[in-house]
Structure formats: structure tokens, C-alpha cells
């Protein structure tokens, strides 16, 4: 049934069984890598990740989409309705954190698949009063989470030319398995799906726009009782790889005053990071998400610790100041713990606006559909963070109960998921019909730009 409302008009019909079909597919998708506590554990290019990709490929193929993988394992479901025309992309990621939530990323891929399938039905109906200007492409980005392979947002980083393909393929996990080997073992490596420009990123004459819907991973929508978040901008982030180098010794025989305990130095860094966040209040988030201790024996003073740290802020100036504070704190810890601290940027991105045209389009759609929305700045990185710098991009949120994410008790209500699919479907219809044609992306620092001292350019 077509509902006419608003200046533009809502015109995407829905079948009576669409809502239940989405919930059934979401339940099936959540079985891949399912944990006993209700979450999922399917890190990038693991058996569980490969199994759910195989399931999605079959789902898309049954509905007439052509499934292809590119050279970094990004998965595309292509539907050409206008021969030779560019594509509108929509999706997210289906890999997870270890013992993570079943909604993070995966919801956005399935929502895009269902939305585009509804558009397929619409535009292949001879009675449809409107015609698409562009083609459709569902995308499941490779390794958004960055838990098995670093950095995060790796697939979209390569796709947008912000990460080097060869470097990404050579990245190894803790067991020494490279991205190339892991993807190859599951037949998830292909050729360029879209032509590349001289900078190694997709050509914008083949990809015209991008949309992504995601759980908020925060409390703002849940607290306000609002269904849809429209993302106008993103926090910036500095992510670091840290090495704390000491000297291996005997835990019983080595005097405390003679110890160069790398773990002690690392522990002081963890505390210093929390104190740094408290200095800036809510304007700065800090964390240490991973420590690897060598030799990790109960009777050996650790000789070395590898750590991953991050700083996040809405202000690029605060990020720069916090980086200077971090350097000063490291120097103090080196003296106090008698260790050496090696610091390098793993990757970084500055805070930037999403294209204004996409924000306005999303808000118009929400209003036409009779939902409520609010603007919510994203503190987390998403694949849209990369895409927004190159093409008109829409980023949408739905509520996360209590703001829980990257945990097995992550939860979003069924009605919120379903309403999100409805909003995404109508948004994509307008994008596919050319509403954002000529709408500029906001622009940003050149791909790979990083603060002074960066040893590894790129974004994630």
C-alpha cells in the first residue's frame, strides 16, 4: 500500500509479511557464532564469519543480486537496474568483537539487504510510477571491528584509499595468520568490484552515494525515547600501538630496586590514561583495550608489554593537547618505572561533519514517515566515517538499550529495528532516484593524513 504524505511523498510499499521476515532473518543471522549468553563471537575471516557470509550470499543470490568480493574481502550484492549507471551503496559489517553483541554492524547489513530488496520489488513492478537513476549495492565491509586484525574499519579503509591494500593483506593476527591467508582460506578474495582511481580508491563515477544504519552504542536515543538518530558529525580519534620495554628477571631473586618491570610500566600507563580523561571531563574518552605480556610467566618479571590505546574527542584541538599530555606522562613513567616506552600512531581520524544534504534528507524522511528523530554525534568509528569524505553519505542510528555495546547483553528492541528498516528503505529510494545528485561530501584532510609524529597514515 502506498502512503502519500509530505512534500516528497512516501512511496515504498511494504508487504504484510516484511516485518516478520526481517525478524526471522535477523534471528537466523544471529546463530552464526552465537554464544550461550546471547551474543556472537565471529571475528573477521573466522569460520563463523565465513559461514554467515555464505548465508548472506545465498540470500542475496535468491533475490537476483550478484555477489562479489573485492581484493580486501569486502562483500557486495549488486543489482543493476539502470545499465551503466553508478551504484548507491548501503550496508555495514557483520564481523564482531570476541563475545560481542549480535546487533552491532550486522543489523545494518541486513537492514540494507531488506531495504534494497523492497526497492527491487518496487522498481521491477511495471506499475511503479517512479524510476531509479542509479543501481543498488549491499555491502558487508571486511574487518570493521579490528579485533583479530588491526586496524579497524580495514575494508572500507582500503576501499576509500585510506589504507594500503598490500599492507592490509599482510597484516597478521596473534597466531601469525595474515589477512590474505585468512580470506583466501574461505574463498573471500576477489578482484576490484568497482574501478579504482590513481590513488587506489573507488572512482566516484561508479559509486554515487552511501547509507548506513547502526545501533547507537550510546544512551541518547534510549533516554530521550526517540526512534531515529541522524548523525551530523563524528568524534575524532587517535589510536596508538605502545611498546613498554624493560628487562626480564626472576620474580623472587631480583631485588625490587633492580627491576625494569615492563608490566609495572604498562599498569602506570593504564592509570595515567584514566586520569587524563578525568582532566578533560566529558570532552575526552581514553582507553587501553589490549595488553600482551612477554614472556607472561608467573615467575618472570615481564620484559615487554604491547598495548593498544586510544583517545577520542569531539575537538581536534583537545586531541592534539591530549597527545602532548600523553608524551609528557610517558616520559615521567619511563623514569619512575625504569622502562622504555615506544609510541606510534596505529591510525587516526579527525572529527568531521557528514554531508549536510544527507542529514537534511534523513530528517525529511523521518518526518514524512511520522517518526521522531534527533541529531546524535557518533563517538565510535563506522565505515561511513571513511565513505563520507568521498561521496554524499547518510548515517542513521536506532536506540541501544542502556547504551550497551561490544558486549553479549547488547540489545535493541524489535520495533526499533523494524522502524529503522522502514526509514532506511525510504531514504535509499530517494537516494536511488537522485535526490542527492550533485550534493558534495564535506571534504576533509587528505586520505592518510595524521597528526605530527604519525608512523602509520590512514583512517579507520
Are 49 and 94 in contact by the 8 Å Cβ rule? The answer is yes
How distant, in Å, are the alpha carbons of 154, 178, 280, 298 from that of 292?
22, 19, 28, 14
Asked if residue 446 has pLDDT above 50, the reply is: no
Cell (9 digits) for 339: 622502562
Q: Enumerate residues 6+ apart whose C-beta is below 8 A from 149.
A: 44, 45, 143, 171, 172, 173, 179, 182
More confident residue, 288 or 8: 288
pLDDT tens-digit map of 155-197: 999 999 999 999 999 999 999 999 999 999 999 999 999 988 8
Least confident window among 20-24, 27-31, 201-205: 201-205
Question: Per-residue pLDDT averaged across 81-91, rounded?
Answer: 97
**Under 8 Å between Cβ of 81 and 123:** yes
More confident: 118 or 455: 118
- pLDDT reported for residue 381: 86
The CA–CA distances, whole Å, from 154 to 85, 326, 350 equal 27, 26, 17
d(CA 425, CA 434): 14
Burial 95-124 (b: 16+ CB within 10 A, else e): bbbeebbbbbbbbbbbbbbbbbbbbbbbbe
* Model pLDDT for residues 187-224, shown as the tens digit of each residue: 999 999 998 888 778 887 899 999 999 999 999 999 99
Give the per-residue pLDDT at 116. Answer: 98
* Prediction pTM value: 0.86
CA nearest to 260, candidates 274, 244, 276: 244
Amino acid at each position: 500500500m502506498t502512503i502519500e504524505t509530505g512534500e516528497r511523498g512516501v512511496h515504498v510499499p511494504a508487504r504484510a509479511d516484511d516485518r516478520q521476515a526481517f525478524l526471522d532473518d535477523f534471528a537466523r543471522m544471529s546463530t552464526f557464532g552465537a554464544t550461550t549468553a546471547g551474543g556472537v563471537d565471529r571475528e573477521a575471516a573466522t569460520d563463523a564469519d565465513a559461514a554467515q557470509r555464505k548465508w548472506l550470499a545465498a540470500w542475496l543470490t535468491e533475490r537476483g543480486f550478484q555477489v562479489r568480493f573485492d581484493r580486501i574481502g569486502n562483500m557486495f550484492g549488486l543489482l543493476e537496474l539502470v545499465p551503466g549507471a553508478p551504484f548507491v551503496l548501503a550496508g555495514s559489517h557483520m564481523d564482531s568483537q570476541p563475545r560481542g553483541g549480535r546487533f552491532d554492524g550486522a543489523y545494518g547489513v541486513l537492514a540494507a539487504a531488506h531495504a534494497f530488496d523492497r526497492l527491487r520489488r518496487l522498481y521491477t513492478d511495471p506499475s511503479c510510477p517512479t524510476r531509479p537513476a542509479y543501481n543498488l549495492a549491499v555491502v558487508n565491509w571486511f574487518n570493521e571491528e579490528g579485533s583479530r586484525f588491526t586496524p579497524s574499519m580495514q575494508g572500507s579503509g582500503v576501499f576509500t584509499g585510506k589504507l594500503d591494500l598490500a599492507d592490509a593483506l599482510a597484516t597478521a593476527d596473534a597466531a601469525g595468520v595474515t589477512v590474505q591467508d585468512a580470506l583466501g582460506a574461505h574463498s573471500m578474495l576477489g578482484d576490484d568490484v568497482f574501478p579504482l582511481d590513481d590513488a587506489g580508491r573507488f572512482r566516484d563515477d561508479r559509486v554515487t552515494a552511501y547509507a548506513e544504519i547502526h545501533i547507537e552504542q550510546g544512551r541518547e536515543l534510549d533516554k530521550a525515547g526517540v526512534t531515529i538518530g541522524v548523525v551530523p558529525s563524528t568524534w575524532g580519534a587517535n589510536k596508538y600501538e605502545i611498546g613498554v620495554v624493560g628487562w626480564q628477571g626472576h620474580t623472587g631473586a631480583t631485588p625490587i630496586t633492580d627491576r625494569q618491570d615492563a608490566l609495572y610500566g604498562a599498569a602506570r600507563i593504564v592509570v595515567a590514561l584514566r586520569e587524563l580523561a578525568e582532566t578533560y571531563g566529558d570532552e575526552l574518552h581514553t582507553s587501553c583495550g589490549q595488553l600482551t605480556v612477554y614472556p607472561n610467566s608467573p615467575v618472570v618479571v615481564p620484559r615487554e608489554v604491547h598495548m593498544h590505546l586510544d583517545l577520542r574527542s569531539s575537538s581536534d584541538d583537545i586531541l592534539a593537547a591530549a597527545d602532548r599530555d600523553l608524551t609528557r606522562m610517558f616520559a615521567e613513567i619511563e623514569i619512575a618505572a625504569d622502562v622504555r616506552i615506544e609510541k606510534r600512531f596505529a591510525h587516526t581520524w579527525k572529527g568531521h561533519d557528514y554531508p549536510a544534504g544527507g542529514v537534511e534528507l534523513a530528517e525529511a524522511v523521518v518526518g514524512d514517515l511520522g517518526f521522531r528523530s534527533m541529531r546524535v554525534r557518533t563517538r565510535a568509528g563506522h565505515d561511513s566515517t571513511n565513505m563520507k569524505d568521498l561521496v554524499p553519505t547518510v548515517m542513521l542510528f536506532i536506540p541501544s538499550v542502556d547504551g550497551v555495546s561490544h558486549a553479549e547483553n547488547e540489545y535493541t528492541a524489535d520495533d526499533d529495528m523494524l522502524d529503522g528498516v522502514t526509514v532506511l528503505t525510504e531514504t535509499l529510494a530517494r537516494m536511488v532516484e537522485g535526490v542527492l545528485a550533485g550534493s558534495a561530501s564535506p571534504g576533509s584532510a587528505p586520505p592518510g593524513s595524521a597528526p605530527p609524529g604519525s608512523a602509520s597514515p590512514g583512517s579507520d
